[in-house]
Amino acid sequence: MNYQTIQVRFQESICYLRFYRPEANNTINNTLIEECMHVLALCEESVTIVVLEGLPEVFCLGADFQGMYEKMANEHEHAQNPEPLYDLWLKLATGPYITISHVRGKANAGGIGFIAASDIVIADQTAQFSLSELLFGLFPACVLPFLVRRIGFQKANYLTLMTQPIRVEQALTWGLVDAYDAQSDTVLRKHLLRLRRLSKTGILRYKRFMDELSDLRQYKSLALASNQEVFSDAQNLKGIFRYVETGQFPWMD
């Protein structure tokens, strides 16, 4: 199948899913979410490992502000429904396969959601991680249940409040990254050689057990309501759209 926003290849029981929106810095739009969900549905029966990748310079930069701006300009509804994206991350976190994020370059905002929802995160030395939402009066409501589960409340809180990138060394210390090296492809291959020994049934039972231990479903309604609140705020939208038009952040005169 030909996809518009991703590139996909299957190698035995491994699925490689690459975000591919180079013209938009791998930002997330509805098509990307739908296409990722379609691929994960194909992985249900026989795939044991799903590897998420981006471009060499950018993994994923979060929400597509340009797309939001264009919808508003065309008088379409501009408060997007956050549920499909939350459900996509939930599928990565709980689906019957091991999910690996292979991160190179920048990961921001919703890009952190993919990383936090993954079972394993591998990075190279260029990787950096940030949550920039509060700069626009937003906050990463849908990301945080996954991020808190992965790195703990206070580190997720600090990353949200500071809005600035952390380097891969810090991310490793915090547990956001599991392994990194300048030759991250080699690290990925070593992990795959080990993980491909695991059976589909074993993975399914383990992921189902871990799903029972987590609070990801419990926090879904709160996360969705909070996301819709901040993305419906007229002042926040004004700041986002001025940024798209001029490159100026909301606090700049």
DSSP E strand stretches across the chain: 6-11, 14-19, 49-53, 58-60, 98-103, 106-108, 120-123, 128-130, 166-167, 179-180
Asked whether the beta carbons of 122 and 100 are under 8 A apart, the reply is: yes
End-to-end CA distance of the chain: 47
Long-range contacts, 244-249 (Cβ 8 Å, 24+): 244/65, 244/66, 244/68, 244/69, 245/69, 249/135, 249/136
Write out the catalytic residue numbers. Answer: 64, 133
